[in-house]
A and B are shown apart, each in its own frame.
Chain A
Amino acid sequence: MVSPAIALALLPLLLTLIIRYRYFFVLLYRAVLIRWVRDCLTGLSREERAYQYILTHATPGDSQSILDTFDQWCSKVEFISNIGPKKGKILDRLLLEHCPITVLELGTHCGYSTVRIARSLPIGARIYSVEMDERNAGVAEKVIRLAGFDEDMVELIVRPSDEVIPRLREDFGVEHLDFVFMDHWKRCYLPDLQLLEGSGLLGEGSIILADNVIFPGAPNFLRHARRSGLYEVRVHRATLEYIRGIRDGMAELTFLGIK
């Protein structure tokens, strides 16, 4: 039998682990426990609850107000892994620098990042936003319309990304992608990147921005991007959205072209 003294001696270890990984516990609590409780209580999905909050709190047609309300809801009420305000600034800066005409967004979720991209695009630019889940897509469409962007600007595609990418040229007449924003399943980053490479839609200077490459992380994606020699890789270090203590990063890949 292990004596109580030895068990007590393990207390520092426990404390250390709790203190060191407190943010992860907070994340667990906010992203899993609260969501589960609310789902049971309201019968609505998380995204729909977010939409209700926005509908009641934000100014329609004002994208900034919608984004702010989203941030507020995500940091105060519940947790949705949007890109968040801090990483959003990096995204805004990149968009302003490159002024892309054709943007592909993988993973619309609730449309936060779509609104964010759409508001800083030049006139005549077009976003193709891919979302697999239909309920989420419904919410996202409502959010996008609420923010005042029409179908000319934002094209919402409700299909899995690995089906969409090879057919972009045929179905949607896309010839060239200037900017690709990835924020869907982290495991799909690498196959989708390879599909993009194969489709020939990327040209020299095309930017691929992948969110959450450090936490939850996409190691294979990063490894491929670094080793293939097709890209110039920069990892913007930041923290996870709405939670301060977890390190995360966005990978900015500049396509150098196949030589």
Chain B
Amino acid sequence: MPRHKLIASESDVSIDVDEGKDNEFSLYYVEVEENSEEGEEKQARRDGKRRRERNGEVGRRRTSEKRTTEVGNKRAEKKHDKRHKRARNGGEKHGKRQRRKNEDAEEAEEESSKEKKNIKNERNKTLKLDDEKKKDLKKKTKKHVKNEEDDASHGKTKQKDCHDMPLKEKKKKRNKPETTSESESKSESESQSDSDSESKDNQAVGVLGSLTPEELEKLKEAVDERKKLIITLRGKPWPMRKKLLILRESQEFVEKYEGALGKGKGRKLYAYKVMMMKKWMKFQRDFENFKTACIPWEMKIKEIESHFGSSVASYFIFLRWMYGINMILFGLTFGLVMVPEALMGKPYGSLPRKTVPRAEEAGAMNFAVLWDFGGYAKYSVLFYGYYNNQRAIGWLKFRMPLSYFLVGVGTVAYSYMVVIRTMARNANEEGGGDDTSFNFSWKTFTSWDYLIGNPETADNKFASITTSFKETIVEEQESRKDDNIHLTRFLRVLANFLVLCCLAGSGYLIYFVVRRSQKFALEGLENYGWWERNEVNMVMSLLGMFCPMLFDVISTLENYHPRIALQWQLGRIFALFLGNLYTFIIALMDAIQLKRAEEEIVKKNMTIWQANLYNGTVPDNSTALPITVHPADVPRGPCWETMVGQEFVRLIISDTMTTYITLLIGDFLRAILVRFLNNCWCWDLEFGFPSYSEFDVSGNVLGLIFNQGMIWMGAFYAPCLPALNLLRLHVSMYLQCWAVMCCNVPQERVFKASGSNNFYMAMLLVILFLSTLPAIYTIVSIPPSFDCGPFSGKNRMFDVIQETLETDFPAWFGKVFSYVSNPGLVLPFLLLLVLAIYYLQSTSKTYKRVNMELKKKLQTQNEENKKKNKLAALKAANELEQARKGGEQHSNSDLGESTLNGSQLPSVNALDRILEPVLGNFPLMLKS
């Protein structure tokens, strides 16, 4: 085996060095080089010389170092061996080379004589250099550094002179076809040189102090080369594996030797600096990694993105973003409302509003009741009714009602702020301009989703790109024909009509169900079964689940691009959900009215009850303690706020349950059935009829958005909602991640969804607005219950602000506030605000337009340039022809008149002048 031989030769080298037979060593070394690639030679020889030089100097001087060199060499051999293996794996033609080795060896023998000469020269030179160095040391001039450099450059040039020659000759001699590409040979030479220099410098680690300046210089040069390589590696046309290999090797090399470089005294400092720099860089990189690791679920999302494309990932990113927002909302409500009340407020059982009434006490701890958020759950910090209207609680004098109100307002305000800010940021990212004008260019260059890392998805994507190309070509042809447009239009109108019918039907159904449930509620729910009690929720979730499917089926009529189809689908589901939600709210408003009527009756009864209490038991004449009635026995109002909160919580819970159950049945069970029944079924379940489900981006996004809307709506009356939502989002993150990876298949038409993010945001904003509307309406227009909640006893909920202003702030502040809140001031301020918004909007519009114009200008300029170039080329060609004709004429006309000559000469010059830019532009033209 050639490799064994190689090792043997190298081990011989070390022995030879010990014996001091430099010439033989060189011969062997040449042989070694011959074994390896052609391109390695130059570098390798330089390295060999380096070694020789050092051995010439060092090896003779120190006998004690022989051992180390031997060891080092052996180590180097091993490394070399490995490298060699890799190189062999990389280049297949290596084997052939090895076979050719014998010839090469013969040649090498011929060359070895030349080499010997070279070495003699070399030795002379080194001696000279040594002398010079000694002189330098003696003089100890300040020009030390400069001299060193000079020496080094001398050495370099000389070396190059002496070993370039034989190399060239050898190449000539060989006359073999270059089988490997340049880059390959180059890289291999590098790896080879790397191993060589490494083997050398393995020894050198101990001998570093005795490095000659040239060597240092060379080392530095090599390090610089490596650095350069690392920087430019990305642009090289090599396969990835090779790039990685080279990168790793180069980095190792640089890391190893960079520290060893430096000049004179500053070497240590330099090494230290380099080391610190490296440490710092590494730390920074690690820190970046750490930061990425700190982003919750980042890796999960990336994995999903690689399997399912960015549209599915965008849902999960949205989910994460939502989680963040809910975290803040939860922090606000939990930290400023629930915890203070639980810690500092009056304990459970101290007030009627804080105790379970006597009638409910028996079943208050039943699971069914708690699951329905009745019983003890209803009379706890989770709901509005539990809070007391005491102005300040605890030793902190915490203003509970104020805090409650401000948190309610603050959560909504914060949500607005965040949504709008995100929208604005996203709007910046999407540049203006129409993307439809260069359809095929866009498709060619931008349709690949680079985040895909899964072969199946990649196949799908590939197929979808191909089909989309076909479709676009067909579309392009059809758009020229322009005859089928009416059919498409008709189908689209029809689809929208069907969808509208569907929406109206579902709206009516919900309305019907809600009316019925009110009837049930009036007659008492106890008389009805589970189906009747849960009818509204059931119908709402069923419609919410199946109507989108119907829309999806209908939307196939329209034949839109999937991205546009997704937006339509989103819009439709949005309308459906909105209709459902608003029907629900209207029903809730009715319920509130009912409760308030009930409250009036209770109020009247209350006075009678109190009168009875006092009349019946307490003698009029006594001054004894007033009667204490257990709070559970006190009659109380229905507390519509708690009822609203409860409804929302129930809705959220049932919604969550529906989502999870759908996930488990529709996705997981189906996947299991398809997977395991496929082996014993008469048709292909995986490819054919049930198949695996696809991830429904639009439905999930909308579910999330509407869920959030319900949170915003209900959070004022049930402070526990953000906490519940947080829990839900957390669970659904894990559950859905798992479900997607485990039982969904990538969409058949994978498409990029980067543009739809702002669409989601816009919908979220709309929902936010629509969900704050009813909340604000109830806060502003309906008086709070008289015996429950933090605002009981007040006429309106926002009176708490006025109260605070009056009692907690100095008098002048109240005055200032009253002045400021004077309509005469507020209206102009609002006007100013509107004007400012208008101004900003119009300026942004102008900027956009200017941007567009600039873009257009650039385009036209580009086209003009193209035309110009074409024209110039044509002209040049014409003139060339003319000139040729002229030349022929000229030659024919027997060196005619001098005037003609004079005119022709400049014309040729002109031709050159014209041709020059054209030729210069030629590659440009090719590009365009």
Contact = CB atoms under 8 A, between A and B. Distances in A.
Interface of A: 1-3, 5-6, 8-10, 12-13, 15-16, 19-21, 24, 186-187, 213-220
Interface string B525-549: 0000101100100110011011101
B542 A217 contact: no
The 4 closest A-B pairs by CB, nearest first: A217-B684, A9-B542, A12-B546, A13-B546
B688 interface: yes
B542 A10 contact: yes
A1 to B, nearest CB: 7
Interface in B102-123: none
Given A1-B529, A5-B512, A219 B678 contact: yes
A15 B501 CA distance: 13
A247 to B, nearest CB: 8
A interface secondary structure, majority: helix
Contact of A219 (B502, B513, B686): B686
Contacts of B545: 13
A9 B538 contact: yes
Given A3-B531, A6-B535, A24 B549 contact: no
Given A13-B549, A15-B550, A217 B538 contact: no
B118 to A, nearest CB: 53
Contacts of A219: 678, 684-687
Contact of B531 (A1, A19, A24): A1
B689 A6 contact: no
Interface in B533-576: 535, 538-539, 542-543, 545-547, 549-550, 552-554
A5 B535 contact: yes
Tell me which of B535, B546, B682 has the highest count of chain A C-beta atoms within 10 A of its own C-beta: B546
Given A214-B687, A215-B683, 12 more contacts: A5-B513, A5-B516, A5-B539, A9-B538, A12-B502, A12-B546, A13-B545, A20-B553, A21-B689, A186-B682, A186-B683, A219-B684
Contacts of A6: 531, 535, 538-539, 542
A182 B547 CA distance: 42
A249 to B, nearest CB: 8
B428 to A, nearest CB: 40
A95 to B, nearest CB: 25
B509 interface: yes
Contact of B535 (A3, A16, A215, A217): A3
Contacts of A10: 542, 546
B539 A16 contact: no
A244 to B, nearest CB: 13
A9 B536 CA distance: 11
Nearest to A1: B531
Nearest to A22: B553
A226 to B, nearest CB: 13
A96 B244 CA distance: 47
Nearest to B544: A9
A81 to B, nearest CB: 13
A12 B688 contact: no
B677 to A, nearest CB: 11
Contacts of B506: 12
Nearest to A5: B513
Contacts of B553: 15-16, 19-20
B858 to A, nearest CB: 43
Contacts of A218: 684
Contact of B682 (A2, A15, A20, A216): A216
A232 to B, nearest CB: 16
A251 to B, nearest CB: 12
B414 to A, nearest CB: 36
Contacts of A216: 682-684, 688
Nearest to B541: A9
Nearest to A246: B688
Contacts of B538: 6, 9
Contacts of B678: 219
A20 B513 CA distance: 28
Contact of B546 (A9, A24, A187): A9
Contacts of B532: 3
Interface in B652-681: 678-679
Tell me which of B531, B678, B688 has the highest count of chain A C-beta atoms within 10 A of its own C-beta: B688
23 contacts: A1-B529, A2-B531, A5-B509, A5-B516, A5-B535, A6-B535, A6-B539, A12-B543, A12-B547, A13-B550, A15-B550, A15-B553, A16-B552, A20-B553, A186-B682, A186-B683, A187-B682, A214-B684, A214-B688, A215-B687, A219-B678, A219-B686, A219-B687
B688 A215 contact: yes
Contacts of A16: 546, 549-550, 552-553
A8 B683 CA distance: 32
Contact of A8 (B502, B509, B529, B682): B509
Interface in B549-605: 549-550, 552-554
A103 B685 CA distance: 31
Nearest to B549: A16
A16 B545 CA distance: 12
A6 B535 CA distance: 7
A250 B498 CA distance: 37
Contacts of B688: 214-217
B531 A9 contact: no
Contacts of B513: 5
